[in-house]
Structure 1
Amino acid sequence: MISAQAWADAQRLWDFQQMGHELRPCSVAIGLGSHDLGVADTTADLYHRGMMPLIVFTGATSRTTRDRMPRGEAEHYRERAMELGVPADAILVEPRARNTGENIRFSRALLEERGAAVSSALLISKPYEERRACATARKLWPEVEWVSASTPMTLADYADSIGDACLVIDMLAGAQQRLMVYPQQGFMIEQPVPEDVAAAYERLRDAGFTSRLVADIAVRK
């Protein structure tokens, strides 16, 4: 059972990760690979709304996707977007990235190789990783104006869609930990973390929601 306190703490992390950016047309969209095909669905929807002329889906496989996405996250995203009516010539596939930093670096290299002019980009991620993904992108490609987007849904609905609420809370804790420690390692820009968010993370960590934490890293407020 997940306690009321754990749910409240997870909700606080969920809310903090939401960037609240106003969507607008951009040069390109970059859909970050993961277990969540909702990223592909949202990217396709934004394409049909005229928010970008070009899409990059980026991602290899991970321990959570190798069975359900054996051809690679980016390739499965491409197939899903095409099922939803996005033309093949509007999609580029970056199949090697295994973390968010590689998602950005490899997508940038692919776009530069294709001669695409990029001044702004829609960064489409899972709902609980908007802020972390944006902080990484701004660090690695600061010349671009980044607009964060994800599937609009509540934490409860997202947990139901995944089918494993404990795993979702584990992933929320992992995203928050990285947001707090990765700037010190040069992986992303610094993000001010409110005290109540840091406290929510620490309670979840102490309650055992640790399967997605980076080991051997001390988190300081």
Structure 2
Amino acid sequence: MISVQTWSDAQRLWDFQQMHHELRPCSVAIGLGSHDLGVADVTVNLYKRGMFPLIVFTGATSRTTRDRMPRGEAEHYRERALDLGVPPSAILVEPRARNTGENINFSRALLEKRSIDVSSVLLVSKPYEERRAYATARRLWPAVEIISASAPMTLPEYVGSIKDPRLVLDMLVGAQQRLLIYPDRGFMIKQEVPESVAAAYERLCAEGFTSRLVPAT
């Protein structure tokens, strides 16, 4: 049973991860692979709204997705987008990336190989990874403008859609940890973390939501 305090702490992390960017047309969208096909759905919706002419779906598989998406995250995203009416010519697939840094670097390399001029990227992620994805992209691709987007959902709505509360809380904690330790490793830009958010993160770690943490040293 997840306590009221735990949900409150999770909500604090969820709120902090949201970037609240104002969406506008960009050169390209990059849909970051994960266990959540909702990322593909959001990307398709934005494509149909005319926010970009081209989509890059990026992602191999992970321990979370190898059974759910055996053909790779990016390929499953592509299939979803085609089913929803996006033309094949508007989708590129980057099938090798296994972390957010590789998502950005490999997508950038693919676009450069195709001689596609990029001045802005609409970066589509899961709702609780907006800030992490943004900070990574800003570090690795500083010459382009990065605008973050995700499904406009509340934490309870998202947990209900995934149907695995512990997975979502573990992922939230993992995303927050990376914001704390990855800037010093050169993986993302540093961002100020409010004390209340840091305290919520520490309490969630103490509660055992640690399966997505990486070694701190």
| Bucket of the pairwise TM-score, normalised by the shorter protein | over 0.9
Is 2:50 the partner of 1:50? yes
Query: Aligned with 1:81: secondary structure?
Result: helix
Alpha-carbon distance between aligned partners in 2 of 1:67 and 1:208, rounded to the nearest angstrom: 25
1:138 aligned partner, one-letter code: R
**RMSD (Å) for aligned C-alpha atoms:** 0.6
Counterpart for residue 129 of structure 1:
129
The unaligned stretches of length 5 or more in structure 1 are none
Residues 192-216 of structure 1: CA deviation (Å, up to 9, x unaligned): 000000000000001111111113x
Q: How does 1:31-180 map to 2 (within 5 A)?
A: 31-180=31-180
Equivalent residues, number? 217
Query: Aligned with 1:61: secondary structure?
Result: coil
2:43 aligned partner, one-letter code: T
Query: Aligned with 1:148: secondary structure?
Result: strand
Post-superposition offset of 1:68: 1.1
Query: Aligned with 1:156: secondary structure?
Result: helix
TM-score (norm 1): 0.97
Identity %: 78
Post-superposition offset of 1:166: 1.2
TM-score (norm 2): 0.99
Residues 68-98 of structure 1: CA deviation (Å, up to 9, x unaligned): 1111000000000011111000000000000
Counterpart for residue 210 of structure 1:
210
Alpha-carbon distance between aligned partners in 1 of 2:179 and 2:11, rounded to the nearest angstrom: 16
Alpha-carbon distance between aligned partners in 1 of 2:209 and 2:74, rounded to the nearest angstrom: 28
Alpha-carbon distance between aligned partners in 2 of 1:84 and 1:22, rounded to the nearest angstrom: 25
Alpha-carbon distance between aligned partners in 2 of 1:11 and 1:22, rounded to the nearest angstrom: 22
Post-superposition offset of 1:163: 0.8
Alpha-carbon distance between aligned partners in 1 of 2:23 and 2:169, rounded to the nearest angstrom: 27
1:175 aligned partner, one-letter code: A
The unaligned stretches of length 5 or more in structure 2 are none
Post-superposition offset of 1:167: 1.2
Alpha-carbon distance between aligned partners in 2 of 1:24 and 1:119, rounded to the nearest angstrom: 13
